[in-house]
Structure 1
Amino acid sequence: MKNFLSIFFIAVFAFANAQDSKETANRFFYELTFKPKKDSAKIEKVMTVLDITKQKSVYRDYTIIAQDSMIKVQIEAMQKSGVFKDMSKSIRMPKFSEKIDKFYPEMKVLYIERVANGFTPINIGYSENLKFNWKVLNEKEKIGAYNTQKATVDFGGRKWTAWFSTDLPFQDGPYKFYGLPGLIVKIEDSEKNYSWVLQGNKKIENWEEVSYAEKVSGGNAKVTEVSKEKFYKTFNDFKKDPLATARPYLKPEVMSQKMPGSDMTIGEMVKNQEKMYKDFYNSNDNPVENRELQVGNLEKVGKEKDKK
């Protein structure tokens, strides 16, 4: 029991030793409107951000970052009192878990997800050297405060229309998109499954890539880069059983113990975590890219390699 609690409190209460190197970033806020279910007309919205530094850009869901100050207050109160508090009901969960880094100037795209290693999250990712074959058109339009120009491209099994602005001198955009003569202000697919629209921007002094919430859970910016095939296998296995690597510690005598200063048992906490993970990963079966096709192609490549 003592060993389990040591691991648990390191995961929940302690800061990671790794620290970010602080720098200045331009943060661009994109409202994403999307259809989470293929067979439903239901529309959802979430705010996403693209942080652009001298070395790279970082795209992700803004939901957890926006709550960092509140999370910091609650975690520090738990650290001070040594009493566990279930924060699941007070924190808004993100709609998307991926983080996408684009490294300048080569524009290497790194797609990242967090998976569990015991009770500690680790980042795994795969890299791509994407080349978007943009078709820049003469059509222009005013979107918000920006003068924009139209461009189209096929990507991920969808046809996309983008509007970019040379007033914003960044050849970047939300998700994996980049390569136009200015920042992408709006981009959506032909069936409007996904639509990003720039809502505003600000400069972030002392920018840090890793949020407070990630730090206290033992996370850092380090990424284990694997092949795309291995990434999908690892991530799909994680989604099927997110707590698989923690189960060796979850003995019956441990599960029946109560969290410090709480009526909640470790078993109840684990059950809540499992439900949260399953609800999250089952909420969207309509990804930006046709990953089923990607995985199918990767499995085919893998089988061909095995034959050789």
Structure 2
Amino acid sequence: MEKNKCFTSGNKFLLIIFSMITSILFAQNMYQVQYILTFKPQQNSTLEKSCLMTLYVHGLNSTFFDNEMLKADSILTSSKNKFEQSGEILDYDTDIDVNFTFVINKNLENKNIIYMDHILNGLNPLMIAYQEPVELEWKLTNEISTEQNYICQKANLQYGGRNWIAWFTTQIPIQDGPYKFHGLPGLIVKIHDNEFNYNWELEKIQSNKSNSFITPIFSNQKIKFMSKQEFENVFATYTKNPMQAFNELSEEVLDSYVPGINVKLREYIKTQGDIIKNKYSSSTNLIEL
């Protein structure tokens, strides 16, 4: 990485010319932008994890999610189909490491963001969602740096209780980025908070004039919209008791064996509930404080 340096008139001129050329090349394309996120799941800890996350961009709309969600969604769909056909429940392996179950849809034209997440609803997973306008007050600086082989400009932001530092490039004229971040004059190549709790870096980008890789994500799931406050309340309750939907089952049903797994339903519910609760309880360092 080159050391940061201030803009000169020559640098500005080259950026303007290059931006005009790439704007023409990228204008009609759709994009699959992949980021690698390095983050600290727990507060006051140096332990770090990493995962791949994808931003699908189509015009002024985009979708952002953890790559493992695609794998999980495929398995959940297969499990549901098998249950409907044979009454059996797939005993799928727990090697799916989904760090973030949310899905974020952005509309850059009206600055609206739809934030969705998953909860179990008996045997039918349910997506709950809220919509909110997000206006980000970026402060652009005159610093430039080469990040991931792109000429980037630095911008600062206060959002969600954290101070963020972003590097964006006008070489890729997409005013978008990971998570809820958007609104800069180019694609966000790198963004992190000032304590490096969360650090997204561009891994790769693909462009295509067709929508061959723009697949409807989780399109088979029901989506229930609610206010942001209601969403937070429902999700908080879910993380404490993720198997609540099974609470009203009779003792007879709970003592029956799960088809295809050969364990009692009450044991299966407890095991799955503990896995989900442990997952959420081990992630105390939220993106937004």
Q: 2:169·2:187 contact (CA, 8 Å) conserved in 1? A: yes
Q: What is aligned with 2:44? A: 39
| Aligned-partner SS, 2:135 | coil
Residues 78/247 of structure 1: CA separation in 2 closer, same or farther (3 Å cut)? closer
- Residue segments in structure 2 that go unaligned for 5+ positions in a row: 1-28
Deviation at 1:69, TM superposition (A): 6.7
Identity %: 32
- Counterpart position of 2:156: 152
Structure 1 partner of 2:20: none
| Cα root mean square deviation, aligned | 2.5
Residue identity opposite 1:276 in structure 2 = I
Quote the offset at 1:118 in angstroms: 3.3
68 and 239 in structure 1: CA distance in 2 versus 1, 3 angstrom threshold:
closer
Pick which of 65-74 and 278-287 moved more.
65-74
- Which residue number in structure 2 is paired with residue 239 of structure 1? 239
Per-residue CA shift, 1:18-57, capped at 9, x if unaligned?
A: xxxxxx9521111111111112111111111111123521
CA distance in 1, matches of 2:78, 2:239: 30
Q: What is the CA distance between 1:72 and its match in structure 2?
A: 7.4
TM-score norm. by structure 2 comes to 0.80
Q: Which amino acid aligns with 2:185?
A: P
Residue aligning to 1:301:
none
**1:55 and 1:103 in contact (8 A); partners too:** yes
Matched to 2:187, the amino acid is L
Where do 4+ consecutive residues of structure 1 move more than 3 Å? 66-85
CA shift, 1:63, in A, is 1.2
Greater fraction helix? 1
Given that residues 144 and 151 in structure 2 are in contact (C-alpha distance below 8 angstroms), is that contact kept between their aligned partners in structure 1? yes
Q: In 2, distance between residues paired with 1:131 and 1:78?
A: 44
**TM-score calculated relative to the size of structure 1:** 0.76
Partner of 1:273: 272
The alpha carbon displacement at 1:88 in A equals: 3.3
Paired residue secondary structure (2:53): strand
Q: Find the aligned partners of 1:78 and 1:116 in 2 and give their Cα distance.
A: 16
Aligned-partner SS, 1:120: coil
Give the distance between the partners of 1:108 and 1:73, measured in 2 at CA: 33
CA contact (8 A) 1:119 1:246 kept: no
> How far off its partner does 1:80 sit?
7.5
CA contact (8 A) 2:136 2:157 kept: yes
After superposition, residues 240-259 of structure 1 pair within 5 angstroms as: 240-248=240-248, 250-259=249-258
Task: State the partner residue of 2:166.
Answer: 162
Per-residue deviation at 1:73?
A: 7.6
Query: C-alpha separation between the residues in 2 aligned to 1:195 and 1:261?
Result: 42
Alignment length (residue pairs)? 258
Of 214, 239, 244, which aligns to 1:207? Answer: 214
Q: Distance in 2 between matches of 1:75 and 1:120?
A: 8
Structure 1: runs of 5+ lacking an equivalent: 1-23, 291-308
Is the CA contact 1:137–1:150 (under 8 Å) kept in the aligned structure 2?
yes
Q: In the TM superposition, what is the alpha-carbon distance from 1:188 to its structure 2 partner?
A: 0.3
* Structure 2 residue identity aligned to 1:99: V
